Amino acid sequence: MSDLNRMPDAVEREFPVTETHGIARLQNNRLLASSEGLGWRHLYASLASEQPWSATVRPVQHHCLAYCLHQSARITRRLAGGRVKHTAQLRPRHFGTVPQGMESHWEVEGSPQVLLLYLHKSLMDKAIEQACEKPADTVSITPILGTPDPLLEQLAGAVLDSVRQRDGTSTLYIDCLAHTIAAHLLHRYGPRSTSEAFGGARPALSQSGLQRAVDYIESALEEDLSLETLAAHAGYSSHFFARAFREQMGVSPHRYVLDRRIERAKRLLIHTDMPLVHIALQTGFSSQSHFSSAFKRMTGVTPGGYRRG
Protein backbone atom coordinates (compact mmCIF):
# COMPACT_ATOMS: atom_id res chain seq x y z
CA MET A 1 0.00 0.00 0.00
CA SER A 2 2.23 2.76 -1.26
CA ASP A 3 3.74 4.31 -4.31
CA LEU A 4 5.37 0.97 -4.96
CA ASN A 5 6.91 1.94 -8.28
CA ARG A 6 9.20 4.50 -6.62
CA MET A 7 9.32 3.89 -2.89
CA PRO A 8 11.62 0.83 -2.71
CA ASP A 9 14.60 2.72 -4.14
CA ALA A 10 14.09 5.57 -1.72
CA VAL A 11 13.72 3.20 1.23
CA GLU A 12 16.89 1.40 0.17
CA ARG A 13 18.83 4.67 0.11
CA GLU A 14 17.47 5.83 3.46
CA PHE A 15 17.71 2.38 5.08
CA PRO A 16 20.65 0.51 3.51
CA VAL A 17 20.46 -3.26 3.97
CA THR A 18 22.30 -6.19 2.46
CA GLU A 19 19.44 -7.31 0.25
CA THR A 20 16.96 -5.50 -1.99
CA HIS A 21 13.39 -5.13 -0.82
CA GLY A 22 11.93 -6.48 -4.06
CA ILE A 23 8.54 -4.75 -3.64
CA ALA A 24 6.31 -4.95 -6.69
CA ARG A 25 6.56 -1.86 -8.90
CA LEU A 26 3.31 -0.25 -9.98
CA GLN A 27 3.15 2.44 -12.62
CA ASN A 28 -0.21 4.02 -11.81
CA ASN A 29 0.47 5.21 -8.28
CA ARG A 30 1.64 8.80 -7.82
CA LEU A 31 4.09 9.92 -5.15
CA LEU A 32 2.93 13.17 -3.50
CA ALA A 33 5.55 13.64 -0.79
CA SER A 34 8.25 11.70 1.03
CA SER A 35 10.94 12.05 3.68
CA GLU A 36 13.68 11.15 1.22
CA GLY A 37 16.70 13.43 1.69
CA LEU A 38 15.72 14.60 5.19
CA GLY A 39 18.23 12.32 6.88
CA TRP A 40 15.76 10.60 9.19
CA ARG A 41 17.45 7.67 10.91
CA HIS A 42 14.65 5.33 11.95
CA LEU A 43 11.65 6.24 9.84
CA TYR A 44 10.88 6.68 6.16
CA ALA A 45 7.56 8.27 5.19
CA SER A 46 5.77 8.51 1.87
CA LEU A 47 2.41 9.94 0.82
CA ALA A 48 0.97 8.46 -2.37
CA SER A 49 -2.21 8.63 -4.43
CA GLU A 50 -3.05 5.06 -5.44
CA GLN A 51 -5.02 3.50 -8.27
CA PRO A 52 -6.59 0.01 -8.28
CA TRP A 53 -3.86 -2.64 -8.34
CA SER A 54 -3.12 -6.29 -7.68
CA ALA A 55 0.35 -7.67 -6.98
CA THR A 56 2.48 -9.92 -4.85
CA VAL A 57 4.74 -7.91 -2.56
CA ARG A 58 8.03 -9.58 -1.71
CA PRO A 59 9.30 -9.50 1.88
CA VAL A 60 10.19 -6.06 3.23
CA GLN A 61 12.75 -6.02 6.04
CA HIS A 62 11.36 -2.89 7.69
CA HIS A 63 7.97 -2.84 9.40
CA CYS A 64 5.42 -1.03 7.20
CA LEU A 65 2.44 0.89 8.53
CA ALA A 66 -0.11 2.39 6.12
CA TYR A 67 -2.54 5.15 7.08
CA CYS A 68 -5.46 6.06 4.81
CA LEU A 69 -5.98 9.82 4.54
CA HIS A 70 -8.60 10.18 1.80
CA GLN A 71 -10.94 7.92 -0.19
CA SER A 72 -11.83 4.39 0.86
CA ALA A 73 -10.53 1.21 -0.73
CA ARG A 74 -11.53 -2.43 -0.56
CA ILE A 75 -8.37 -4.37 0.34
CA THR A 76 -7.90 -8.12 0.00
CA ARG A 77 -4.68 -9.52 1.50
CA ARG A 78 -3.24 -13.01 1.62
CA LEU A 79 -0.11 -13.58 3.69
CA ALA A 80 2.70 -15.94 2.72
CA GLY A 81 2.06 -19.57 3.49
CA GLY A 82 -1.65 -18.94 4.03
CA ARG A 83 -4.61 -19.91 1.86
CA VAL A 84 -7.11 -17.65 3.59
CA LYS A 85 -7.64 -14.16 2.19
CA HIS A 86 -8.52 -11.31 4.53
CA THR A 87 -10.75 -8.61 3.06
CA ALA A 88 -11.48 -5.27 4.72
CA GLN A 89 -12.57 -1.75 3.87
CA LEU A 90 -9.70 0.68 4.37
CA ARG A 91 -11.41 3.93 5.26
CA PRO A 92 -9.93 7.34 6.00
CA ARG A 93 -8.28 7.36 9.44
CA HIS A 94 -7.82 3.58 9.36
CA PHE A 95 -4.55 1.62 9.33
CA GLY A 96 -3.09 -1.47 7.73
CA THR A 97 0.33 -3.11 7.85
CA VAL A 98 2.65 -4.83 5.41
CA PRO A 99 4.10 -7.55 7.66
CA GLN A 100 7.85 -7.40 8.15
CA GLY A 101 9.84 -10.11 6.38
CA MET A 102 6.75 -11.78 4.92
CA GLU A 103 5.61 -12.08 1.30
CA SER A 104 2.01 -11.01 0.77
CA HIS A 105 -0.48 -10.70 -2.07
CA TRP A 106 -2.69 -7.60 -2.34
CA GLU A 107 -5.76 -6.59 -4.32
CA VAL A 108 -6.77 -2.93 -4.02
CA GLU A 109 -10.11 -1.71 -5.33
CA GLY A 110 -10.37 2.06 -5.08
CA SER A 111 -8.17 5.14 -5.24
CA PRO A 112 -7.08 5.95 -1.68
CA GLN A 113 -4.47 8.46 -0.61
CA VAL A 114 -2.14 6.58 1.71
CA LEU A 115 0.65 7.63 4.04
CA LEU A 116 3.10 4.78 4.43
CA LEU A 117 5.61 4.64 7.27
CA TYR A 118 8.62 2.34 7.29
CA LEU A 119 10.02 1.70 10.77
CA HIS A 120 13.66 0.66 10.50
CA LYS A 121 14.29 -3.00 11.31
CA SER A 122 16.97 -2.12 13.87
CA LEU A 123 14.51 0.14 15.71
CA MET A 124 11.86 -2.57 15.92
CA ASP A 125 14.39 -5.23 16.89
CA LYS A 126 15.68 -3.15 19.80
CA ALA A 127 12.15 -2.32 20.94
CA ILE A 128 11.17 -5.99 20.90
CA GLU A 129 14.30 -7.18 22.69
CA GLN A 130 13.99 -4.56 25.41
CA ALA A 131 10.26 -5.08 25.97
CA CYS A 132 10.12 -8.86 25.61
CA GLU A 133 13.64 -9.81 26.73
CA LYS A 134 13.90 -12.33 23.91
CA PRO A 135 15.34 -12.34 20.36
CA ALA A 136 13.43 -10.12 17.96
CA ASP A 137 12.99 -12.90 15.39
CA THR A 138 10.97 -14.93 17.90
CA VAL A 139 8.34 -12.21 18.43
CA SER A 140 5.66 -11.22 15.93
CA ILE A 141 3.30 -8.26 15.71
CA THR A 142 -0.27 -9.05 14.67
CA PRO A 143 -0.95 -7.71 11.15
CA ILE A 144 -3.83 -5.23 10.98
CA LEU A 145 -6.07 -4.12 8.12
CA GLY A 146 -8.82 -1.51 8.20
CA THR A 147 -8.13 -0.82 11.89
CA PRO A 148 -8.79 2.52 13.64
CA ASP A 149 -6.18 3.60 16.19
CA PRO A 150 -6.49 7.14 17.63
CA LEU A 151 -2.94 7.29 19.03
CA LEU A 152 -1.34 6.04 15.83
CA GLU A 153 -3.43 8.58 13.96
CA GLN A 154 -1.94 11.45 15.97
CA LEU A 155 1.59 10.12 15.51
CA ALA A 156 1.13 9.58 11.76
CA GLY A 157 -0.26 13.11 11.42
CA ALA A 158 2.79 14.54 13.17
CA VAL A 159 5.10 12.65 10.80
CA LEU A 160 3.14 13.87 7.78
CA ASP A 161 3.40 17.48 8.96
CA SER A 162 7.18 17.14 9.13
CA VAL A 163 7.31 15.62 5.64
CA ARG A 164 5.28 18.48 4.19
CA GLN A 165 7.38 21.12 5.95
CA ARG A 166 10.60 19.50 4.64
CA ASP A 167 12.28 20.32 7.94
CA GLY A 168 15.78 18.87 7.95
CA THR A 169 16.37 19.77 11.60
CA SER A 170 13.54 17.62 12.94
CA THR A 171 15.61 14.44 13.32
CA LEU A 172 15.34 14.35 17.13
CA TYR A 173 11.59 14.93 16.88
CA ILE A 174 11.22 12.13 14.32
CA ASP A 175 13.40 9.84 16.45
CA CYS A 176 10.97 10.34 19.33
CA LEU A 177 7.95 9.74 17.11
CA ALA A 178 9.48 6.57 15.65
CA HIS A 179 10.25 5.15 19.09
CA THR A 180 6.73 5.98 20.29
CA ILE A 181 5.16 4.30 17.25
CA ALA A 182 7.30 1.20 17.79
CA ALA A 183 6.39 1.03 21.47
CA HIS A 184 2.69 1.46 20.72
CA LEU A 185 2.68 -1.25 18.05
CA LEU A 186 4.27 -3.66 20.51
CA HIS A 187 1.94 -2.67 23.33
CA ARG A 188 -1.23 -2.84 21.23
CA TYR A 189 -0.49 -5.57 18.68
CA GLY A 190 2.43 -7.52 20.16
CA PRO A 191 2.40 -10.55 22.50
CA ARG A 192 0.44 -10.33 25.73
CA SER A 193 3.68 -10.46 27.71
CA THR A 194 4.79 -7.29 25.95
CA SER A 195 1.65 -5.40 26.98
CA GLU A 196 2.14 -6.54 30.55
CA ALA A 197 5.74 -5.36 30.46
CA PHE A 198 4.70 -1.90 29.27
CA GLY A 199 1.95 -1.75 31.87
CA GLY A 200 4.17 -2.62 34.83
CA ALA A 201 6.02 -0.34 37.17
CA ARG A 202 8.41 1.92 35.28
CA PRO A 203 11.84 2.67 36.73
CA ALA A 204 13.10 6.23 36.45
CA LEU A 205 16.27 7.74 35.09
CA SER A 206 18.90 8.18 37.78
CA GLN A 207 19.45 11.78 38.82
CA SER A 208 23.04 11.62 37.61
CA GLY A 209 22.00 10.15 34.25
CA LEU A 210 19.33 12.77 33.76
CA GLN A 211 21.76 15.53 34.69
CA ARG A 212 24.35 14.24 32.21
CA ALA A 213 21.77 14.40 29.41
CA VAL A 214 20.62 17.89 30.41
CA ASP A 215 24.22 19.15 30.66
CA TYR A 216 25.02 17.72 27.24
CA ILE A 217 21.98 19.41 25.71
CA GLU A 218 23.11 22.78 27.09
CA SER A 219 26.61 22.29 25.68
CA ALA A 220 25.48 21.16 22.24
CA LEU A 221 22.35 23.13 21.36
CA GLU A 222 23.83 24.15 18.01
CA GLU A 223 24.34 20.51 16.98
CA ASP A 224 21.96 18.04 15.32
CA LEU A 225 21.06 16.19 18.51
CA SER A 226 19.77 12.64 18.22
CA LEU A 227 17.82 10.56 20.70
CA GLU A 228 20.59 7.92 20.66
CA THR A 229 23.22 10.52 21.59
CA LEU A 230 21.19 11.90 24.49
CA ALA A 231 20.38 8.40 25.74
CA ALA A 232 24.05 7.38 25.51
CA HIS A 233 25.13 10.36 27.64
CA ALA A 234 22.51 9.39 30.22
CA GLY A 235 23.63 5.75 30.08
CA TYR A 236 20.33 4.21 28.95
CA SER A 237 18.71 2.70 25.87
CA SER A 238 16.86 5.05 23.52
CA HIS A 239 13.45 3.51 24.21
CA PHE A 240 13.78 3.70 27.98
CA PHE A 241 15.33 7.17 27.92
CA ALA A 242 12.59 8.70 25.73
CA ARG A 243 9.79 7.38 27.92
CA ALA A 244 11.44 8.07 31.26
CA PHE A 245 12.61 11.56 30.26
CA ARG A 246 9.05 12.56 29.34
CA GLU A 247 7.67 11.19 32.60
CA GLN A 248 10.29 12.93 34.76
CA MET A 249 10.62 16.22 32.88
CA GLY A 250 7.01 16.58 31.75
CA VAL A 251 7.99 17.04 28.08
CA SER A 252 9.60 14.91 25.39
CA PRO A 253 13.36 15.20 24.74
CA HIS A 254 12.58 17.01 21.49
CA ARG A 255 10.36 19.59 23.19
CA TYR A 256 12.91 20.13 25.95
CA VAL A 257 15.68 20.76 23.40
CA LEU A 258 13.44 23.16 21.48
CA ASP A 259 12.58 25.05 24.68
CA ARG A 260 16.27 25.41 25.55
CA ARG A 261 17.10 26.61 22.04
CA ILE A 262 14.43 29.28 22.22
CA GLU A 263 15.64 30.41 25.65
CA ARG A 264 19.21 30.75 24.37
CA ALA A 265 17.94 32.67 21.35
CA LYS A 266 16.09 35.07 23.65
CA ARG A 267 19.30 35.84 25.53
CA LEU A 268 21.23 36.43 22.31
CA LEU A 269 18.49 38.68 20.96
CA ILE A 270 18.49 40.85 24.08
CA HIS A 271 22.18 40.97 24.97
CA THR A 272 23.86 40.99 21.53
CA ASP A 273 23.43 42.62 18.15
CA MET A 274 24.18 39.33 16.41
CA PRO A 275 22.34 38.92 13.06
CA LEU A 276 19.33 36.64 13.15
CA VAL A 277 20.91 34.14 10.78
CA HIS A 278 23.87 33.71 13.15
CA ILE A 279 21.55 33.29 16.13
CA ALA A 280 19.65 30.65 14.18
CA LEU A 281 22.81 28.63 13.53
CA GLN A 282 24.11 29.00 17.09
CA THR A 283 20.85 27.65 18.49
CA GLY A 284 20.59 24.59 16.25
CA PHE A 285 18.20 25.78 13.55
CA SER A 286 18.95 25.02 9.91
CA SER A 287 18.03 28.48 8.62
CA GLN A 288 16.80 31.91 9.66
CA SER A 289 13.33 31.14 8.31
CA HIS A 290 13.05 27.94 10.33
CA PHE A 291 14.29 29.78 13.43
CA SER A 292 11.81 32.62 12.92
CA SER A 293 8.82 30.33 12.44
CA ALA A 294 9.72 28.19 15.48
CA PHE A 295 10.37 31.29 17.62
CA LYS A 296 7.03 32.86 16.72
CA ARG A 297 5.20 29.58 17.28
CA MET A 298 6.71 29.27 20.75
CA THR A 299 6.56 32.91 21.89
CA GLY A 300 3.87 34.57 19.80
CA VAL A 301 6.24 37.17 18.37
CA THR A 302 8.96 37.20 15.72
CA PRO A 303 12.65 37.30 16.76
CA GLY A 304 12.86 40.85 15.45
CA GLY A 305 9.81 41.89 17.43
CA TYR A 306 11.19 40.29 20.57
CA ARG A 307 14.51 42.13 20.13
CA ARG A 308 12.74 45.46 19.72
CA GLY A 309 10.91 44.86 22.97
Contacts of 51 (CB under 8 A, 6+ apart): 26, 28, 29, 111
Is the pTM for the entire model greater than 0.85?
A: no
Q: What is the pLDDT of residue 203?
A: 66
Q: Render pLDDT for 142-188 as a digit per residue (tens, 0 to 9).
A: 889 999 999 999 999 999 999 998 866 678 999 999 999 999 998 88
Run of H or E including 119: strand 113-119
Who has greater pLDDT, 134 or 226? 226
Run of H or E including 98: strand 94-98
- DSSP-derived secondary structure letter, 134: S
Q: What is the pLDDT of residue 37?
A: 87
Q: What is the pLDDT of residue 190?
A: 85
- Split at pLDDT 50, 70, 90, the class of 4 is very low
Q: Render pLDDT for 118-131 as a digit per residue (tens, 0 to 9).
A: 999 999 998 888 77
Contacts of 161 (CB under 8 A, 6+ apart): none
- DSSP-derived secondary structure letter, 41: S
Whether the per-residue pLDDT at 259 is higher than 60: the answer is yes
Q: What is the pLDDT of residue 59?
A: 82
Whether the per-residue pLDDT at 250 is higher than 70: the answer is yes
Phi, psi angles (nearest 5°) of residue 137: -75, 0
Sheet holding 113-119, edge to edge: 30-34, 43-49, 113-119, 63-70, 94-98, 145-148
Q: Render pLDDT for 62-102 as a digit per residue (tens, 0 to 9).
A: 999 999 999 999 999 888 766 778 899 999 999 998 878 88
Spatial distance between the Cα atoms of 39 and 288, rounded to a whole number of angstroms: 20
Q: Render pLDDT for 201-225 as a digit per residue (tens, 0 to 9).
A: 456 888 888 999 999 999 999 998 9
Burial (CB count <10 Å: 0-12, 13-18, 19+), residue 76: middle
Q: Which of 37, 32, 156, 146 is nearest to 91 (CA)?
A: 146
Whether the per-residue pLDDT at 111 is higher than 70: the answer is yes
Task: State what percent of residues in the chain have pLDDT above 70.
Answer: 85
Spatial distance between the Cα atoms of 6 and 9, rounded to a whole number of angstroms: 6
Q: What is the pLDDT of residue 192?
A: 67
Strand 145-148 to 63-70 pairing: unpaired
Q: What is the pLDDT of residue 13?
A: 52
